[in-house]
Amino acid sequence: MATAAIRMSLIACGRPMASMTRPCVARSTSNALAAQTRRSLTTSSPMRSAQQTKAAASVEQSARETMDWNTYFALRKTRRNYERAFMAPCALLGLGSAGYYFAQKDFDPTPIFGMDQIIVYGIGTVLAGIVGLAVGPVVGNMVFRGVNSKAKPIVDKMDKEFYKHIVKNRADPSSNSARNPIPDYYGEKIKSVSEYRSWLRKHREYRRKAKFYVGVD
């Protein structure tokens, strides 16, 4: 009887102990999950910030690589002004250089290509001035690209895009005539969006006249 009573008392005491250990195990498991969650949050936050920084950089890059057409036409006009501004100085430089070169040569009465040397020297000086006049726009374009170096890639991209529009929408020049000349075939006179729309209307009118033989020889 005594042994049985001891066993009953041990069983009764063991039950509360088991019930007390279960909450401890649950608490330790929840603490471990919370610690793991905090670790994942701390490790993922730099990745998220890096992704956000990369996305912001891509948006900024795309914003830099886009340009509205009015801004492009303004830069195009500025580039043309640069090209025209350097035409006269380069022509004068060619004339002056050639004139100085020929002036330093000794005069020889022997004809050159059957002509007097003075005439040949004069022709050479004029040709040097013409070459300088032709080189002027190239020099002006180089100066423009150097001054606007940041906008150079997007301007080149817009040049290609604009040329595609011109090739796509311009009329066929096979019907060109004195009474119905094709208007601005290369689009060089276009300086704004409104002028581009006017250019489109002129080419549609040219097509209509060429199709119905209105004003065509």
Interval 75-93: pLDDT, tens: 999 999 999 999 999 999 9
Going by pLDDT thresholds of 50, 70 and 90, the confidence category of residue 10 is very low
Helix, strand, coil in percent for the chain, rounding step 5: 80, 0, 20
User: Is the pTM higher than 0.85?
Assistant: no
Over residues 24-48, the mean pLDDT reads 51
- In this structure, what are the phi and psi dihedrals at residue 115, rounded to the nearest 5 degrees? -125, 160
Angle at 74 between CA 69 and CA 76, to 5 degrees: 90
CA distance 57 to 36: 32
The residues near 95 (Cβ < 8 Å, ≥ 6 apart) are 125, 126, 128, 129, 132
C-alpha distance from residue 62 to each of 18, 66, 109, 145 (Å): 65, 6, 68, 21
